[in-house]
Chain A
Amino acid sequence: MSEKDSELVTIGKSASNGISRRKFLQILGASSAAGVAGCARDQAQKVFPFVRGEEDQIPGVSVWYRSTCRECSAGCGIQVRTREGRAVKIEGNPEHPVNHGGLCGLGQAALQALYDPDRVRQPLAREGGSNLEPQFKPISWDEAYARVAAALKANNKKVLITGEETGALDELAQSFSKAFGAEKISFDALQPVALAKASEQVYGSYGIPRYDFEKAQVIVNFGADFLETFVSPCEYARGWAKSRKSGNPAKFIHVEPRLSLTGANADLWLNAKPGSEASVAWALVKFLLEAGRGNSLRDEVRQSLSSLLRDVSIDAAAEESGISADKILRAGHELKSADASLVLAGGTAAATANPMSLQVATATLNLILGNVGKTVLVGSMRKPQTSLARFSTAIASMKKGEVGLVMMHGANPQFNLPAELGFQYALAQVRAGDPKGKPGLIVSFSSSLDESAMLADIILPSHHSLESWGDSRPYAGVHGLVQPVMTPVFDTRAFGDMLIKLAAMAGQSSVAGGAEDFLGYLKASWKKVHAASGSSADFQRFWLESVERGGYFVAEEGDSSKLSTSTDAYKPVKAMAKVGSGFGDQDLVLYPYASVKTFDGRAANRPWLQELPDPITSYVWDAWAEMHPATAAQRGIAEGDVVQVRNKNGELSLAVHISDYVHRDVVAVPLGQGHQAYGRFAKTVGYGNASAMLNLSANAEAIAYVGAAVDVVRGRGRSSLVKTQGSDSQHGREIARTAFVQAGAAHGEEHGAGHAGHHEPKQMYVQREHPIYEWGLAVDLSACTGCGACVVACYAENNIAVVGKEICSQGREMSWLRIDRYFEGPAEELQVSFQPMMCQHCHNAPCEPVCPVFATYHNEEGLNAMAYNRCVGTRYCSNNCTYKVRRFNFFEVDVPEPVSWQFNPDVTKRSMGVMEKCTFCLQRINEAKDHAKDEGRIVRDGEVQPACVQGCPTQALVFGNMKDPESKVSRWAESHRAYKILDHHINTQPAVSYLERVKHKL
């Protein structure tokens, strides 16, 4: 068993500390010294009252705080549930204009960053140890402040590196940098800077436009993983799903060298040679111009375009990309005939050494198709500040020994930057000091000991965003507020407060404009928002209302019509002249891709996300190398072999996953694994950091993720990749169904007339009766993207154990809700289905009659109940379950403090030897019934939302009372698309209905 697994699981331990549900009862801070319920006999349990009563705190009642997610720069609104002063669950804020209530897995797993057992608990100073393995010793805050303030006073160059910040914190950091003459650098590896620059060149304004996926009838996408990590995935997924759920879904064509989750949701997935997307995009520009689109362009623009595109043709593009000319033409015809369409480029596929060509081509496509102002809103853009060019300049100056102070917060450049850039060497030079020999200081404000913090001299740990004040202004009209939801877990400080205090100590107290702390600074900044809002309420009231709402939002501020009508800003760029991929005939190209599991590596320390099966490969707790069968065969590599992927900058040692859905020239690896620091959970997953191996292109504004040539050689042995899904095929059983729009009015014809939704078999026995409630769930497969947000929500809500790779390999993962993924057809006509699978709460459940102790039974509300305290662990029920949704606790999982603080006190923590499964979030049903009883009524439709339903970014799930014919779930279940899985074969009568996926056949 690896080190990681032993952290997670203690086999055969009878009762472990810190996991009792009742422990939360009125506990203030201190943990109970007494034993936990169960076997502890003689120890008396203690009950701790609050010392001071708080107005809004009732023991046993949740308090919700609205805030803004700071895990990526999208700026989704969140609401955090706290119990007895501890954050236990994060959900999307339904009133927030960005995400409308949904939240991705990363946002929900922010709790695990808050309660990370390896967080920095107090200020640390480097003392001894090697450069790579430093030793840190705790120091006092006063000492830490004094050392940094002294360095600030020194007269030399300074660098302040932050993440992608907006709002007051950004203003403060700017003002701080200005006061001390420091270079302020924003760094977020995933920001599509080239896209923002292309907007400047084509639309005349720098920034990432907003995209209206709902209005687009045709989407042509060059690698932008807008359902995963691209800019604002919750927002885009929601818009895309709205179009999918309507009767007339958008036609979605996706071009990329490796099947991503977004590509898997496309109607037509095209496998392009890496770096060849630009030639396809320019061929489409030419085709559309020739087909008569783009009449709104000025003549000189058209002329310059056609002269530039003289040598471009669809055939040439087909040859270069390896996509058949028919398919490119098909995309061209779809775009041509659509009123509103959307062309996008992004993700790893677009991050080549010369990303501007593709980005300008897609922006041009949007322009000539008239999408600007319809689906591409350039009036209120996100303006990323990340600039690799500026960072490179700063690093060069650090290497020269000119910089005396480096401050880092919210970014992990050591992990995310290519090794060739020499960030580590640059920091070593800073430490070595200037030519006079005066050593410089490296300060990290990181909350966790990541790779960059390990290089620091002093660490002043900052609060997590759930512990601090702040705001987020992703685009015009959206002012999201961040508020602390609990007292800090450790002895940390807010980054803003630290900047203000340091500035004051270094004699620049005017930095904060007179504010004593960051909250004061934030309020001063919000006074401007208040003034601009034209609100008649006084500021205090405006502020309180904004805090309560989660921010201040104006509908559709920033009209895009002004920019879209004018094409003056459009300037043909030199980048166009160089059509084609940015690299030569290398053998294999490294293709590191960001995924919902790890993003760029920031999510690697979250056990929930590590245990979440990868949406495409279904691997857990691992990194792997995806290769095409032909490429692998050429090298004599088989599935599961360990290979060394290497170039001059680094080496990865990974197991191979053979897949038809990667290009022959590509070896695809998940980005963000292979940490050498960043906590116990991140450290042991994957070997080697793919980011380090990337090429450095001259003057690049962003990291070129495609283009690094690598050698792949067979290493020693085989590795055990662990996947949770046994088969990729449905074996013709119609478990996840797809209907194609082509079939016309009688759609669904293709799989026979027998719609299971209307299948009413003759029943021999008396049917069950449900007097008041009959809870049911419906899932619209059209809207399900397979992102796994529901799975993470379920882990968070129901105290589900994270067991680690070893135990997952024995098929003993504990997830109550999983997403099944099926591939159908050859790679050229690939159809992928995602299907959330939870307990179906069958009304004729196979598990119930086989339980010898009546622990599982059907209750009056239509729930397949499971009484844990009755279960003796025969596992007959699991054997008999048709859907494989029951999970057995083979082990007691030992959870380190303070991860255990996250546990939901309303849900029993199951012990070893007990069967468990989805309860439809019974605790939420009971809570809603409790409210309803207080008001003397029954539960209203929509009042109960299980965690999966609430968390779904696309609202693909609906829950409610099937006895109420007007309820949303009843209407979904009555839909002609509805069916129940395997019901027509075995008459289980599930309470979960699925609505078949509707797609186009392109």
Chain B
Amino acid sequence: MRNSRFSVLSIRFVIVLSALVSWMSPLASSAQPAVDENPLSTSAISGPYKDLPVNQGVWNGGQAALWDLNIIDFYKYFGPQQRARGFKPEQPIKFNHIIHVQKNGMECQYCHWSVAKSSYAAIPEVDACMGCHKFVLGSNDQYKAEIAKIAEYAQKGEPIPWVKVHVMPQHVNFNHKRHVKAGVGCQECHGVVPNMAQVERVSSMKMGWCIDCHRERGTSIDCYTCHR
């Protein structure tokens, strides 16, 4: 027992050293984004997306606190990898936000339509994908293959088993609707999704990180606001 304790401490020391650089960069770029009237609008971030780091505009760089280092999350001793910043799972279909949002100019809510109506931001129905992809069949072989997968799911009547990127413990009750109505933009938690070919988690979504923002904005920090 004592030995393992010692090794954990020494690992922590190594982590702190090795992570110095990694945590400097998000802090440097954590300038507040230009606020648009519609917080859901993808135009809330100005400029060409491709020049932006994915955590541009994310609250506090996605960190719960100064000592909340990216690499800690990656080290499994401290938590599951799926709750770590940088979690970037392989999806059953290589859905690309860059094409849909940057190239085609689609708004977030076009697909995630329930975000302002419900606590959940809906993953679009398979039929919603097919609404366009009945006609849009892809410009190259790779795209064609991916789009064919959607058609297959739709034909079989099966849901697409997306891998959840933003996993919350079950005792957390996050309400998308209230945050959106309060003017919190999508990218403040989710990062510059328009610039993600493969969606990744850019914020720690730890309680300290939530509370930090709640304090800053003067909203409730009662436990019962999120835990019930």
Task: Judge if B224 is at the interface, Cβ distance under 8 Å.
Answer: yes
Interface residues of A (CB under 8 A from B): 20-22, 25-26, 28, 30, 36-38, 40-42, 44-53, 58-61, 857, 859-861, 863, 865, 867-870, 906-909, 919, 922-923, 926, 930, 933-934
Partner of B169, one of A30, A37, A46: A37
Chain A hits for B122, CB < 8 A: 26, 49, 58-59
* Given known contacts A865-B223, A869-B227, A25 and B120 CB-to-CB distance under 8 angstroms: yes
- With beta carbons under 8 angstroms apart, the residue of B76, B127, B158, B164 that contacts A46 is B164
B105 at interface by CB-CB < 8 Å: no
A49 to B82, CA, bound (A): 20
Contact in complex: B161, A46 (CB < 8 Å): yes
Q: Please, how many angstroms separate the alpha-carbon atoms of A734 and B169 in the complex?
A: 44
B222 and A865 contact, CB distance less than 8 A: yes
Segment of B32-40, B57-65, B170-178, B210-218 in the binding face: B170-178
Contact string against A for B residues 186-225, beta-carbon threshold 8 Å, 1 for contact and 0 otherwise: 0000000000000000000000000000000000101110
B124 touches A (CB below 8 Å): yes
Residues on the A chain within 8 Å of B227, using CB = 867-869, 908
Set of chain B residues within 8 Å of A28, measured between Cβ atoms? 159
Please indicate the chain B residues that have their CB under 8 angstroms from the CB of A861 in the complex. Answer: 222, 224
| A37/B120 contact (C-beta < 8 A), A50-B125, A865-B223, A930-B175 known | no
- Once the chains bind, are B159 and A49 in contact (CB under 8 Å)? yes
Does the CB pair A922–B117 fall under 8 Å? no
Given A36-B170, A859-B223, A865-B223, are A46 and B163 neighbors across the interface (CB < 8 Å)? Answer: yes
A53 touches B128 (CB 8 A): yes
Chain B neighbourhood of A869, CB < 8 A: 169, 171, 227
Contact B159 A48 (CB under 8 A): yes
The complex places the Cα of A857 from the Cα of B221 at a distance, in Å, of 13
16 extra interface residue pairs, beta carbon distance < 8 Å, beyond A51-B127, A60-B120, A863-B224: A30-B159, A37-B169, A45-B163, A45-B164, A49-B124, A49-B159, A52-B125, A53-B125, A58-B117, A58-B122, A59-B118, A59-B122, A60-B119, A859-B223, A922-B224, A922-B228
Interface centre among A30, A44, A58 (most CB of B within 10 A): A44
The answer to whether B117 and A61 touch across the interface, beta carbons within 8 angstroms, is yes
A860 cross-chain contacts in B, Cβ below 8 A: 220, 222
What is the bound-complex CA distance between A193 and B213, given in angstroms?
Answer: 68
A61 touching B118 by the CB < 8 A rule?
yes
Q: When A and B form their complex, which 10 residue pairs have the shortest distance between CB atoms, in order from nearest? A: A60-B120, A60-B118, A48-B159, A49-B123, A867-B223, A41-B80, A37-B170, A45-B164, A53-B125, A50-B125
A-side contacts of B181, CB under 8 Å: 933-934
How many chain B residues touch A (CB < 8 A): the figure is 43
A44 touches B228 (CB 8 A): no
- Residues of A within 8 Å of B81, CB to CB, are 41-42
Contact A44 to B163, CB < 8 A, known contacts A22-B168, A51-B154: yes
Q: Is the CB of A44 within 8 A of B82?
A: yes
- Please measure, in the bound complex, the distance between the C-alpha atom of A538 and the C-alpha atom of B162, giving whole angstroms: 46
Q: Which of A52, A859, A868, A930 contacts B222 (CB 8 A)?
A: A859
Taking chain B's interface residues, is the majority helix, strand, or loop, or is none over half, making it mixed? Answer: loop
Contact of A868 among B114, B154, B157, B171 (CB under 8 A): B171
- Contacts of B171 on A, CB cut-off 8 Å? 868-869, 908
Alpha-carbon distance A757/B122, docked complex (angstroms): 50
Q: Do the beta carbons of A44 and B89 come within 8 Å of each other?
A: yes
Chain A residues contacting B220 (CB-CB under 8 Å) are 860
B99 interface residue per 8 A CB criterion: no
Which residues of B5-43 are within 8 A (CB) of A? none
Task: Assess whether B163 is in contact with A906, with CB atoms less than 8 Å apart.
Answer: no
A156 to chain B, nearest CB (A): 45
B167: CB under 8 A from chain A? yes
Which residues on B are within 8 Å of A, measured CB to CB? 76, 80-82, 89, 114, 117-120, 122-128, 153-154, 157-164, 167-171, 173, 175, 177-178, 181, 220, 222-224, 227-228
Q: What's the Cα separation between A49 and B159 when bound, in Å?
A: 6
Q: Which of A48, A51, A58 contacts B118 (CB 8 A)?
A: A58
With the chains together, A42 CA to B89 CA distance in Å? Answer: 12
A923 and B161 contact, Cβ closer than 8 Å, known pairs A41-B81, A59-B120? no
Chain B: minimal CB distance from A34 (Å): 9
Q: Which residues of A contact B161 (CB under 8 A)?
A: 46, 48
Q: Which residue of B lies closest to A37 (CB)?
A: B170
Q: Complex: how many Å from CA A868 to CA B223?
A: 10
Partner among B76, B164, B228 whose Cβ is within 8 Å of the Cβ of A41: B76
> Which residues from B are CB-within-8-Å of A48?
123, 159-162
Can you give 9 contacting A-B residue pairs, CB < 8 Å?
A: A20-B170, A37-B167, A41-B81, A46-B162, A47-B123, A53-B125, A53-B128, A923-B228, A934-B181
Bound CA span A26–B220, Å: 28
Q: Which residues of B are found within 8 Å of A865, using beta-carbon distances? A: 222-224
Instruction: Please measure, in the bound complex, the distance between the C-alpha atom of A47 and the C-alpha atom of B162, giving whole angstroms.
Output: 5
Task: Enumerate chain A residues within 8 angstroms of B167, measured Cβ to Cβ.
Answer: 37, 45
Q: What chain B residues lie within 8 Å of A906 (beta carbons)?
A: 173, 228
Q: Which residues of B contact A59 (CB under 8 A)?
A: 114, 118, 120, 122
Chain A proximity of B116: nearest CB distance (Å): 10
Residues of A within 8 A of B178 (CB): 930, 933
| B120, closest chain A residue (CB) | A60
Contact present for B224 and A45 (CB under 8 Å): no
Contact B82 A45 (CB under 8 A): yes
Residue of B154, B181, B224 with most partner-chain A CB within 10 A: B224
A51 interface neighbour in B89, B159, B228, Cβ under 8 Å: B159
Closest chain B CB from A61 CB (angstroms) = 5
Q: Which residue of B lies closest to A860 (CB)?
A: B222
CA of A865 to CA of B228, assembled, Å:
9
Q: From the candidates A36, A51, A859, name the one contacting B157 in the complex (CB within 8 A).
A: A51
Which residue of B has the minimal Cβ distance to A61?
A: B118
Contacts A53-B125, A865-B224, A868-B171; is A58 near B82 (CB within 8 Å)?
no
Known A-B contacts A58-B117, A60-B114; A52 and B164 likewise in contact (beta carbons under 8 Å)? no
A801 to chain B minimum Cβ distance, whole angstroms, is 16
Closest approach, in angstroms, between the C-beta of A198 and any C-beta of chain B?
53
Q: For the complex, what is the distance from the CA of A925 to the CA of B228, rounded to whole Å?
A: 11
Q: How far is the CA of A60 from the CA of B127 in the complex (A)?
A: 19
Cβ-neighbour of A50 out of B89, B126, B228 (below 8 A): B126
Contact B126 A51 (CB under 8 A): yes
Residues of B within 8 Å of A50, CB to CB, are: 125-127, 159
| Cβ B117 vs Cβ A909 within 8 A | no
Q: Let me know if B168 and A49 touch, CB within 8 A.
A: no
CB pair B170–A21 under 8 Å, yes or no, is yes
Q: How far is the CA of A922 from the CA of B76 in the complex (A)?
A: 34
With A45-B82, A908-B228 known as contacts, the answer to whether A51 contacts B125 (CB < 8 A) is yes
**A854, closest chain B residue (CB):** B223
CA separation between A36 and B114, bound complex, in Å? 24
Write the nearest CB–CB distance from B99 to chain A, whole angstroms: 19
Of chain A, the residue at the smallest CB distance from B92 is: A46
* CA gap between A51 and B124 in the complex, in Å: 9
Shortest B211–chain A CB gap in Å is 13
Complex CA gap A863/B223 in Å reads: 11
> Cβ of B163: which chain A residues have Cβ within 8 Å of it?
44-47
A922 to B80, CA, bound (A): 29
A21 and B172 CA atoms in complex are apart in Å by 10
On whether A52 and B120 interact (CB within 8 A), knowing A44-B82, A908-B227, the answer reads no
Least CB distance from B78 to A in Å reads 11
List the A side residues contacting B80 at CB < 8 Å.
Answer: 40-42
Q: Whole-angstrom distance between the alpha carbons of A868 and B181 in the complex?
A: 28
Q: Which residue on B lies nearest to A36, using beta carbons?
A: B170
Residues of B within 8 A of A60 (CB): 114, 118-120
* Distance A795 CA – B10 CA, assembled complex (angstroms): 49
In the complex, what residues of A have CB within 8 A of residue B118's CB?
Answer: 58-61
